[in-house]
């Protein structure tokens, strides 16, 4: 059964499920996600719970995930609330999750380019919203990227039960929509887009219009304009971000940060923050180009475009390291609780499975001793 504080937490998270049988099935599915070895398909879960010969459990759980009417949004909101109580000094982190698939019938499956991998894969591509702190990384909300082939073909769309509100969007739009308009983000803490943004100006415009503080990963080739007239490069128009940072490397200062891979080890990087313009956001907001050097003799190891009012360069760097915990700890644990394992074909079924797998992830995560740095609460 559900371990450590699980019954109390799951009761809180499933309070929006009004029928007792739905709450019972949610608990059962959750127990299966935590206890089943290997792939977390409905068949394997039901077999681990009741034996391979019991088809009634499999049919019941399949119906609960794919055909029931319960709404996943309140469960995700309750999960976000519980996590932010547990780790109040957090950063919201958006990460792409590629889900390889062999077939063609699962909703959203296509040949997709995955920015983090630098290559195309056959499968689904989702974006997850994670609550990340110095000793925690847990998912709270999800958005499935839907290629045009799934949105333009009426019969395919209806068979997958894709809602009428779903519209075409590129990867940046998908990530930003999750960060700004999703059901999970319940506090004004900063959002870190931990994937290379293709259109940083449009991303900055969207976040600043919504009043949401953000950090967006960019490349050394991203064109930006130096905004401080006293700095070299001002008035020269758009320049590559890497060139701007190299020209201003005299501004670098050492910053100590918690290593997400070897807590409680602390490491030190050189950091510089340069006022810049990108897109239309610069008309009313001050953006910063944040560069991190792990080796002072080489180009910056990481570049971010940020808007977090009142935050120092050191605070901004530590925010990015909290986000890194998703890659180091969060995603491996996610694989163990079945984030990539749903075998159904429908849009609602995928979301219900991802919701319960996110709850399983939280129940499996180690408790947090929240001794993290104090960080700004809002823009």
pLDDT band at 285 (very low <50, low <70, confident <90, very high): low
Task: State the helix-helix crossing angle for 20-35 and 6-13, rounded to 10 degrees.
Answer: 130
Q: Above 80 in pLDDT, residue 24?
A: yes
pLDDT of residue 309: 87
Using alpha carbons, select from 323, 346, 363, 355 the residue that is nearest to residue 91: 323
- What is the arithmetic mean of pLDDT over 236-244? 93
Report the distance separating Cα 289 and Cα 278, nearest Å: 10
Residue 110 within any structural domain of the chain: yes
The reply to whether 175 and 125 lie within a common domain is yes
Residue pair 362/78 in contact by the 8 Å Cβ criterion: no
The reply to whether 286 and 351 lie within a common domain is no
- Residue at a domain's end among 322, 346, 374: 322
Residue 199 within any structural domain of the chain: no
The reply to whether 314 and 334 lie within a common domain is no
Residue pair 112/121 in contact by the 8 Å Cβ criterion: yes
Q: Above 60 in pLDDT, residue 372?
A: no
Residue 247 within any structural domain of the chain: yes
> Which of the 8 DSSP states describes residue 154?
H
| Two structure tokens written together for 167 | 């519209």
Residue 45 within any structural domain of the chain: yes
The reply to whether 40 and 152 lie within a common domain is yes
- What is the arithmetic mean of pLDDT over 29-37? 93
The reply to whether 26 and 134 lie within a common domain is yes
The reply to whether 170 and 282 lie within a common domain is no
Residue pair 324/292 in contact by the 8 Å Cβ criterion: no
Q: Which domain holds residue 254?
A: 205-322
pLDDT of residue 3: 42
pTM, 2 dp: 0.91
Using alpha carbons, select from 300, 376, 343, 351 the residue that is nearest to residue 58: 343
Structural domains of the chain, count: 2
The reply to whether 156 and 242 lie within a common domain is no
Residue 310 within any structural domain of the chain: yes
Residue 376 within any structural domain of the chain: no
The reply to whether 179 and 236 lie within a common domain is no
The reply to whether 185 and 292 lie within a common domain is no
| Residues facing residue 181 across a β-bridge | none
pLDDT averaged over the chain? 88
The reply to whether 137 and 220 lie within a common domain is no
Residue 371 within any structural domain of the chain: no
Secondary structure (DSSP) of 322-373: HHHHIIIIIHHHHHHTTTT------HHHHHHHHHHHHHHHHHHSPPP---PP
pLDDT band at 6 (very low <50, low <70, confident <90, very high): low
Q: Above 70 in pLDDT, residue 283?
A: no
| Residues facing residue 268 across a β-bridge | 256
- Residue at a domain's end among 297, 322, 347: 322
CA 353 centroid distance within chain: 17
Looking at mean pLDDT, say which of 52-56, 272-276, 368-372 comes out highest.
Answer: 272-276
Residue 55 within any structural domain of the chain: yes
pLDDT of residue 215: 97
The reply to whether 78 and 176 lie within a common domain is yes
Residues making up the chain, counted from first to last = 379
Residue pair 354/141 in contact by the 8 Å Cβ criterion: no
The reply to whether 59 and 153 lie within a common domain is yes
Residue pair 304/91 in contact by the 8 Å Cβ criterion: no
Query: Of the given ranges (53-57, 135-139, 151-155, 300-304), which has the lowest mean pLDDT?
Result: 53-57
Q: Above 90 in pLDDT, residue 132?
A: yes
């Amino acid at each position: 059964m559900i371990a450590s504080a699980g019954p109390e937490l799951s009761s809180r998270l499933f309070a929006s499920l009004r029928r007792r049988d739905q709450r019972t099935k949610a608990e059962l599915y959750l127990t299966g996600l935590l206890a089943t070895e290997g792939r977390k398909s409905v068949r394997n879960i039901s077999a681990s719970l009741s034996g391979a010969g019991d088809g009634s459990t499999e049919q019941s759980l399949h119906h609960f995930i794919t055909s029931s009417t319960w709404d996943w949004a309140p469960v995700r909101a309750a999960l976000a609330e519980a996590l932010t109580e547990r780790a109040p000094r957090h950063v919201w982190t958006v990460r792409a999750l590629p889900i390889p698939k062999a077939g063609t019938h699962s909703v959203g499956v296509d040949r997709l380019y995955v920015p983090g991998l630098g290559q195309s894969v056959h499968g689904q591509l989702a974006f997850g919203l994670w609550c990340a702190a110095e000793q925690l990384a847990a998912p709270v909300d999800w958005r499935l990227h839907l290629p045009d082939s799934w949105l333009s073909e009426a019969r395919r769309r209806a068979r997958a039960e894709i809602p009428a509100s779903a519209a075409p969007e590129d990867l940046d739009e998908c990530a930003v929509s999750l960060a700004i308009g999703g059901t999970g983000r319940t506090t004004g803490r900063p959002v870190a887009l931990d994937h290379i943004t293709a259109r940083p100006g449009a991303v900055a415009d969207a976040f600043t219009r919504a009043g949401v503080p953000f950090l967006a990963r960019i490349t050394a080739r991203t064109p930006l304009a130096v905004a401080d007239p006293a700095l070299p490069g001002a008035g020269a128009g758009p320049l590559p971000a890497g060139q701007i940072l190299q020209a201003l490397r005299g501004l670098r200062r050492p910053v100590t940060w918690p290593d997400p891979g070897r807590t409680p080890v602390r490491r030190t990087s050189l950091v510089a923050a340069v006022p810049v313009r990108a897109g239309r956001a610069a008309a009313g907001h001050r953006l910063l180009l944040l560069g991190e050097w792990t080796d002072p003799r080489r180009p910056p190891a990481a570049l971010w475009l940020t808007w977090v009012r009142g935050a120092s360069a050191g605070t901004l760097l530590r925010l990015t390291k909290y986000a890194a915990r998703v890659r180091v700890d969060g995603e491996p644990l996610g694989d163990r609780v079945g984030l990539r394992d749903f075998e159904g074909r429908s849009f609602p079924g995928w979301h219900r499975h991802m919701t319960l797998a996110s709850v399983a992830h939280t129940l499996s995560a180690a408790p947090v001793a929240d001794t993290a740095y104090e960080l700004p609460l809002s823009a």
